[in-house]
Amino acid sequence: MEKHKALEIVKKQITEHRYQHTLGVVETAIDLAERYHANREKAELAAIFHDYAKFHPKEEMKQIILSENMDRILLEHHSELWHAPVGAYLVQKNGYVSDEEVLGAIKYHTSGRVNMTTLEKVVYLADYIEPGRHFPGVDEVRLIAKSSLNQAVIQAMKNTILFLLKKNQAVFPETFHAYNDLVMKKGDEDHYE
């Protein structure tokens, strides 16, 4: 799908503020894909569609999670996580994306997962560090991202986990597992597909 057409589709689903964020994620994902040898076109497409379901009604997202037999543990955690797997499902169902790698990058851009692909790491990190993001720790992750994709993703996950812990909020188990997986694979430092 052409970039222009994909952006048109997404723009109808999200707010103007979120659209600007999406444009930042797209540019950041392209930069990271080129730096870390991920497929540029797939990174671009996943970045465009990553927040497709961000403003989808919560009750509808809940029903999709149940009807499509997604991990029900999602429903025990903050609804902020839901838009990623629901978005991947919807863009595939609506015929916008069929590539499994792109769908995986959309699906895991909020939580991460064990054995993340380079493309999944690129989109996860691009969403975290795009230029419109301003919160404690983001500049440090941007700096790390210049030299190590894995270390940047580890630091982004660590920041997210610590943020949730400080707020006494539950951490989605897959995020803990993803963090542990990356930390334990330090010997594979920045080995890319």
pLDDT in tens for each of the 193 residues of the chain?
A: 899 999 999 999 999 999 999 999 999 999 999 999 999 999 999 999 999 999 999 999 999 999 999 999 999 998 999 999 999 999 999 999 999 999 999 999 999 999 999 999 999 999 999 999 999 999 999 999 999 999 999 999 999 999 999 999 999 999 999 999 999 987 466 544 4
Q: Going from the N-terminus, what domains does the chain have, and what CATH number goes with each?
A: 3-188 (1.10.3210.10)
CA-based torsion, 102, 105, 108, 109: positive or negative:
negative
Six-digit token pair at 63? 């029903």
